[in-house]
Each structure stands twice: as structure tokens, then as C-alpha cells.
Amino acid sequence: MSAPRRVLHVIDSFDLGGAQTFLLDLVRHLDQSRFIAEVAAMHGHGVFEPAFKQAGIVTYSLSPGKFPPHYVPNFLKLMQRGKFDILHFHLFGANLCAKPLALAIGHRAIIVHDQCNDASRDQSPFLLAVDALANRGASRIIAVSESVRRFLLDREDLADSKVEMVPNGIDAEMFVPVGEEARRAAKASFGLSEESFVIGGVGRLVPQKNFSLFLEAAASIAPRYPKVIFVIAGSGPLEPVLRKQTQRLGILDNIRFLGHVSDRTRLYHALDALLMPSDFEGTPMTLLESMASGLPVVASSVDGIAEVCTHGENALLVRCRDVPGFVTAIEQVISRPELRAHLGRNARHTILDQYEIRNLVRRVEVIYESVLAE
């Protein structure tokens, strides 16, 4: 039996994010008799680094920060020392900086993971051209949704055979529905009233996630539904702005900022519904985790969300930035327990059928084998 192949995953940072969540699940479930994974962050030591180490994954931080760019020489040194069979790049920073270095030194097995149609690339012809040029030298590009795949084919003019769609996935044995008693206990652990109806927003506090709309919707709902509490779980650069908006809207008593929550399973158990008003997405991990947990979801009908969800079947979908539309959908979820049960049950079935991590990791392994054979 041949020795396992060494795979180095390179990602922007170990900070909070859906890509980091997926990568952790990916390396946990790889067949270690065939592939040994290590993970390098371009800069910093974030909240996910301990989780990778706890899973037995060797990790590297290539630079203390983004500037000065120590990750350039350190990445090249790691390449010389590591003798990796496959390089697998995640997120735009790693793809923009480290991927060209790997191409320059002649590495022949390069995988790119493209998570979403990010605004920086879409709005900058220069960044789009640089990314497209480097992607032409990659062995495969994995798009997490059909919308991302179409972006790569149409905007970067990549060959159809080079781009494969493999959606993100989650461990459906970790994220499971719970009964009312467990939900009340989870609420209490976050200091929430056991009788409250809790609507959650989960993710980085960045413009893409549009938590500003989340707060606007909360301001419309709160006066009419006094038992409803809105919670935001996550951290990011917009937190001070969002806190000021909460004060300006007069909903300080209706909003809880939980910060980063490491125990995501308990977080979903404390929620009665998920609200996701994102401007764009690939295949968001928060969406998949909440659906696996049997939660009703109200979300923007954009990109990968619309590929995962069918309106009225496993979620309620609303046009992007349509505040009245979100308010109406939230009111339906609050007032109709039979609708909540219907959406949550179908959401769980969707995850089991299409987004279970073990099946999707096998598809990534097939791509590895194909690239190595070439």
C-alpha cells in the first residue's frame, strides 16, 4: 500500500468564517490512509487554530499580520521544506498571494476553492484579471455553488472541464434538532428567557452579511411581538456601527450581541429561527448548520442560498434588501407553528440528502486522485 499523499491547505487566516468552518470539517473527515492534511494561515492566530490543533492537524501561521508580508518568504520556505503532493487554496487572499507563488515555483497539483462571488473581485477589473490568470494555471477549481461556477466560466473565461461544483457540507451528526426542554435549557445558558422566541443572525459582522437590515427588521417586529428577542452571534469590524444603529433604532432591550460563540450546536438549539439577509453568498455554513438543526430559515434569495433552499418548502426566501418582505416572512414564522415545523423538517431532510460532509469529502478526494493521476 502506498504512503498517504500530503495535502497543504492554505487559507487567509484562522479567524471566524464559513470557509474556516468548512475546512475544519474537510480535514477532519479526509481518509487519512490516503491523504494527510496540514493547514497554513497567511497571517495571524485566530479562533479556529486551536480547533485544528485539537483535531490533530499540523498548522502554520506564515506571518504575524497582513503587513509586512512575511508570508511571502515563509510560504516559499514551507514549500521547499514540506514537499507537499497537493496544494489546496481557500479564500481570496491566499488565492491572490500564495497561489501565484506556487505556480511560479512550478508546483503541478494546485486546487483552488472558490467560496463566493465576492464584491472585491466582481467590482475590480484588475483583481478579476489577476485571479483569472492564476486560475488558468491551477489543476482544478472547486466552486461551492452553481452561481460561483457560472461566475468563473463567464467572468474569468475558464475551461468548463477545469471547474467542478462541490457544495459546502456539514456534519449532520453534530447538528441535530432538539425538543422544547433542551431548547429552553440552551436559551437559559445564554441568559435568554426560556419563554422568549429567539431569532438569530450568525456570521462575521461585515457588509456582505447585511446585519444592518437584520436590525431594521427587528425594529419593525419588536413593538408588536414583545416576547421576540433578536440575537447576533459573531464578531467583525462593523460591530461598533451595528451597536450604534441598535441604540438609534431604540431596540436595545430587544437585541443581544453574543460575540463569537464557539459552541455552535448549543447556539442553534437556543434559536427558534434563523434570519440571513446577506447580499451575496456561496454555500453559507450557517445556513447548512441551522437547517441540519431543524430551524426555520428566513433568507435572501441570492446565489448559493437560492440553490440550497426552495421557498415555502425548506425556507422562506425574500428579495435581497427588501425590508418589508423580511418583516412579513418573520411574522409568518413567529405566528405559525405549523409552518415552522414544516420548514424545519424539510430543511433537515435537505441536508441529509445533499449536504452531509462525509459524502462531499469523498468527492473532493476523487478530485485529488484525478489531479495526481494527471
State how far the alpha carbon of 189 is from the alpha carbons of 176, 199, 231, 345, in Å.
18, 16, 14, 25
Low-confidence stretches of the chain (pLDDT beneath 50): none
Cell of 337: 407553528
CATH fold of the domain at 5-169+356-373: Rossmann fold (3.40.50)
Please, how many CA atoms are within 13 Å of residue 159, restricted to the half-sphere of its CB?
Answer: 8
Q: What is the pLDDT of residue 32?
A: 96
pLDDT per residue as tens digits for the range 151-162: 999 999 999 999
Domain residue extents for the chain: 5-169+356-373, 180-354
Burial (CB < 10 A; 0-12, 13-18, 19+), residue 191, is exposed
Cell of 55: 483535531
- Kindly give the pairing relationship between strand 5-11 and strand 35-41: parallel
Q: What is the pLDDT of residue 123?
A: 83
Task: Name the DSSP letter for residue 297.
Answer: E
Q: What is the pLDDT of residue 1?
A: 67
51 residue type, one letter? A
Strands (E), the chain: 5-11, 35-41, 58-61, 86-90, 110-114, 140-143, 163-165, 197-202, 228-233, 255-259, 273-276, 297-300, 316-318
Compute the distance between CA of residue 271 and CA of residue 262 in angstroms, rounded to an integer. Answer: 15
Beta bridge partners of 88: 9, 111
Residues 6 or more apart whose CB falls under 8 angstroms from that of 66 comprise 42, 43
Task: Check if the beta carbon of residue 214 is closer than 8 Å to that of residue 255.
Answer: no
Under CATH, which architecture does the 180-354 domain have? 3-Layer(aba) Sandwich (3.40)
Q: What is the pLDDT of residue 285?
A: 97
Q: What is the pLDDT of residue 120?
A: 72
pLDDT per residue as tens digits for the range 86-133: 999 999 899 999 999 999 999 999 999 999 877 678 788 998 999 999
Q: What is the pLDDT of residue 119?
A: 67
Strands (E), 34-153: 35-41, 58-61, 86-90, 110-114, 140-143
User: Are domains 5-169+356-373 and 180-354 of this chain identical in fold?
Assistant: yes
Q: What is the pLDDT of residue 116?
A: 84
